[in-house]
Amino acid sequence: MRQERILHHLQAFNKVVCCQASFFSGADTVRNFKMNSTALEPKFSRVHIIIFICAAAVFLLAAVFGALSGISYGKSEATYAQARDIATALKFFNADQGQYPTATQFSSQMILSPIYMSTMPQPEDVSGSCSKYPQFAYDLNSTYGYVLQFCLLQGVGGAQAGVNYLTAN
């Protein structure tokens, strides 16, 4: 019963609209003006859809790049902090022993840990251009006291991206 009443009202409205349209314009427009179900739906052209998809893709790429850049920066920051921790342990070793460890003693990793460091850290930044530097390189040097070599993918804390050196002096 209710559906019949709604249908009756729609048909009456359609007649009124068609009559008004035929009054204001020719009969050719009346055919195009009839109510249908698609008249109330939003219309987007293909161009609008393509622009929306492109904008969403650019936003997604920016978000992914930002996340990956943040991860890389965090790894570089951790590697730099580890290098500074090793330099601090070497400073304490020199204060206690009156000399810096030899390269052999440093590479055995028994000289600094567990007394001066709980464990000997490994660089976090060992991918990409830093893949050739999987460990901290140490060399006893008469000019600088020692040279600690490490690699960073991104510049952090005053150190540049690439191979960096910390020295006693």
CB distance 90 to 101 below 8 Å: yes
CA distance 135 to 24: 85
DSSP state letter for 153: S
32 versus 56: the higher-pLDDT residue is: 56
User: Domain map of the chain by residue range?
Assistant: 2-40, 75-167
Q: Average per-residue pLDDT in the chain?
A: 75
Whether the model clears a pTM of 0.75, i.e. scores above it, the answer is no
What average pLDDT does range 66-88 have in this prediction? Answer: 80
Q: How many residues does the chain have?
A: 169
- C-alpha radius of gyration, the chain, whole number: 37
- pLDDT(90) > 60: yes
Q: What is the Cα–Cα distance from 21 to 19, expressed in whole angstroms? A: 5
pLDDT digits (tens, 9 = 90+) for 22-50: 445 554 544 554 555 555 556 778 888 88
